[in-house]
Amino acid sequence: MNPRLRRLYFVTPGHPAARLELVVAALRGGARIIQYRDKGGDTEARRREAEAIRMQCRQAGALCLVNDDVELCTAIDADGVHLGEADAAIEAARARLGADRIIGASCYDDLPRAHAAAAAGADYVAFGSVYPSPTKPQARRANLDLLRLARRELEIPICAIGGITPANAGPVIAAGADMVAVIQGISASPDPEAAARALQALFTVPPH
């Protein structure tokens, strides 16, 4: 397992307002992984923003991943990509990115998909939505029993995503998640840095 694929994972919100500031707050709060996620069409604006976020991650010693866009990942020298079911195949992404960059794969509520992703060379898999998610209200649900089963069967890190906040992340971590990926649990908080710090601190609390 990659020892850097652990703990708090902040995914940038879809709206660009204050996105860089939120990344800085999350990093100050202890986030170890940042995923730049922007489905906008302005290629140059996306590249500039992604480069700024990658620079902040490097300064903080955190990983910078790009959602969905293998070419943007290479252009800004990010640490890797996160791929959904409609994105590039893991094998094609690995051929383009090489052995050293990280590839994560969304597996939703599908454990066989996670096994296939691991066999194809994914460095981690993500399950969710664990809780109802305001970002994706129609998302498939992945319960804690699935996380427990995945932890027993998989040899790569597991990320949980979907509706996770400081108030409900504890059971997710106890079920076996190596990482919790959070969007609005940080971005919608009145104090994003404090929310990130509270989430990160849960990884130091032994499970009951």
**C-alpha closest to that of 10 among 2, 27, 18:** 27
Is 39 a residue of the active site?
no
Beta pairing, strands 102-108 & 80-83: parallel
Is 106 a residue of the active site?
yes
**C-alpha closest to that of 172 among 42, 44, 9:** 9
Is 136 a residue of the active site?
yes
Query: Can you tell me which residue has the tokens 């252009």?
Result: 75
d(CA 150, CA 57): 29
Active-site residue (options: 19, 94, 106, 129): 106
Active-site residue (options: 7, 19, 37, 101): 37
Residue 64: how many other CB atoms lie within 10 Å: 25
| Residues sharing a CB contact under 8 Å with residue 27, sequence separation 6 or more, in sequence order | 10, 34, 56, 57, 60, 62, 196
Active-site residue (options: 136, 141, 148, 151): 136
Tokens linked to 2: 């990659």
Catalytic residues: 37, 106, 136
